[in-house]
Structure 1
Amino acid sequence: MKNRSGKWNLAWLGVASLLLSACGAIPGGDRQTSRPQSSAGLGSFDPSPSARQCFSQLGKAKVRFSPLPNRNFQGGCSQIDSIKLLDVGTDVTNLGPVKCQLASKFAAWTEYAVKRAARQYLGSELARIETMGSYSCRNISGSGRLSQHAHANAIDISGFVLADGRRITLTNHWKGSRREKQFLTAIHQSACKRFGTVLSPDYNAAHRDHFHFDMSGNGYCR
């Protein structure tokens, strides 16, 4: 965030350890218990040049956020070039630290895909996006590799609430009515054009109740 003088406000938000339900990234990723984590100090605010550019882009898009200090945790988990999203133009639940580039893609997806699809296919404005979290220090289930969630580089989305009160969830509506399926299909296809990896309920049973988005991979979409 910038202060009135136009300079970056480097005030940090306190970051609690988040034990959020999350999934893996590339094939084979489903849930498992988060590993305990401990911080090696409070970290330092030293964003990379690409992160600084990302901060500027988010500011121009009128997305409110707070930069977070770089931190490394036990087991190789980390939060580097991460931010706390404060306002993307609609309410978002359960979202913790996310890498700036992922946050930028998520904000654009919300504005130009989800909001438009809600109006087009469901005839209502978007009121809220429900997530299952972002940062979680854990491996991809069944492997020794860290999940993208362990680097604040993934978001899981479980549902959407409309201004008319309807709640569209991946669990109940991925194979719902024609309009509901059109809405979820449209935003899934848009996500596949924005994120490095996109997993849907069609991927495997572990993703039956959410979309998984991360910035790894090169357009892997299921």
Structure 2
Amino acid sequence: MRARAVLAALLVMAGVAQAEPPTTSPRPLPNPHRPAEAAPDLAAVPHPVPSPLAGASLAASAISAARPAPLAPAPQVAAEPNGTLTILAASPRPMPRPESGAPAATAPAPQVTMSGASVPLKLGKPGAKGMVCGTPGLIGVAVPAIPGELEGCGLENGVRLTSVAGVPLSIPATVDCNTAKALKTWVDRGIIPAVGRAGGGLARLEIAGSYACRGRNRQAGAKISEHGRGKAIDLRGLTLANGKVITVEADWRREGKILQAVHRSACGTFGTVLGPKSDAFHRDHIHVDTARYNYGAYCK
């Protein structure tokens, strides 16, 4: 009897043990080195009411962030009083934002430099300085229209030459552009080759006359000379590099090889060529003009 009671008690105790929950949790154990975090109190957290302006602000911020950065301003060109242009470049860094109410400051744009020196852009007409008639080698100035004192005289679109093909003139020669170009051809192809290396070469043209409103050979009642139309030049001699002056009047025979070659080379380039052998009026110079005749050039 007693044994049955003991057995019944053991069975009751075993059933109670099976009904108790397990002592081991199925979830992973917390990290012992990390402090435990308290669960947030959702009731204590404020919940602001969303504003439509806040959404617009966020959208504007997103658009601004996506917008590409502005391009750097293109270089500018500044005009200088001396007729030059200087390339200017804007600073690549933006100026600091001014204080509230203060005007924005503008940084001076630096000049583009090369090895520390500014690089200006030169302005001016193409060709050499003082070039006239659109022809390199013709140096001088344009002159206003010259009215004729006599009927048949006058010069439109004339120039006053001071140098031809690099050779200076003893006095300026006032002629039209057609005559100026013919003179350059004569100097290039005739006079300089005729002088050659004599005396170190040609240094200057000795001019006796150019534009003048008068009759031929300065005779009263004569036809108007080509000088009165700006189409003629009188050459009285040549100056060499060593200072020697060869004149038609004094040296036509003594320096005949040079002066006669100069005289011959003008024929064809000019319509009329007259020298000491033509008449007494030309004993001291070579007259050339650009008048044209049906029978061709007249050379004597």
Is the CA contact (8 Å cut-off) linking 1:94 and 1:131 kept in structure 2?
Answer: yes
Question: Higher relative contact order by CA 8 Å / sep ≥ 6: 1 or 2?
Answer: 1
Work out whether residues 173 and 233 of structure 2, in 8 Å CA contact, stay in contact via their aligned partners in 1: no
Counterpart-to-counterpart distance in 2, 1:73 and 1:195: 23
After TM superposition, list the pairs within 5 Å mapping 1:146-185 onto structure 2: 146-176=224-254, 180-185=255-260
| Aligned counterparts of 2:214 and 2:200: Cα–Cα separation in 1 | 37
| Cα deviation, residue 107, structure 1 | 1.6
2:206 pairs with 1:130: yes
CA shift at 1:79, angstroms? 1.2
Distance 2:155 2:138 in 1: 20
- Partners of 2:275 and 2:262 lie apart in 1 by 11
The CA RMSD over aligned residues, in Å, is 2.3
Pick one of 267, 273, 276 that aligns with 1:201.
276
Aligned with 2:227: secondary structure?
helix
**Matched-pair contact (CA < 8 Å) for 1:118–1:124:** no
Change (3 A) 1:93 1:123: closer
Measured in 1, the distance between the counterparts of 2:241 and 2:179 equals 26
| TM-score, with length taken from structure 1 | 0.69
Q: Secondary structure at the match of 2:276?
A: coil
Structure 1 pair 146–183 and aligned structure 2 pair: CA distance change class (3 A): same
* CA shift for structure 1 position 161: 0.8
Partner amino acid, structure 1, of 2:174? P
Q: Structure 2 unaligned segments of length 5 or more: list them.
A: 1-122
2:26 aligns with none
**Cα separation, 1, equivalents of 2:199 and 2:243:** 12
Q: Which amino acid aligns with 1:197?
A: T
Structure 1 stretches of 5 or more lacking a match? 12-53
Q: Residue 52 of structure 2 corresponds to which residue in structure 1?
A: none
Is the counterpart of residue 68 in structure 1 residue 188 in structure 2?
Answer: no
Contact 1:64–1:85 at 8 Å: present in 2 too? yes
**CA drift at 1:144:** 3.2
1:155 and 1:214 in contact (8 A); partners too = yes
**Per-residue displacement from partner, 1:37-87 (whole Å, max 9, x unpaired)?**
xxxxxxxxxxxxxxxxx822x1xx332232222232221220123111132
1:114 Cα deviation (Å)?
A: 1.3
Identity of aligned residues (%): 32
Larger radius of gyration: 2
Identify if the C-alpha distance between structure 1 residues 157 and 204 changes in structure 2 by more than 3 Å, giving closer, same or farther.
same
Q: Give the count of matched residue pairs.
A: 169
Q: TM-score, normalised by structure 2?
A: 0.52
Contact 1:79 1:97 in 2 (8 A): no
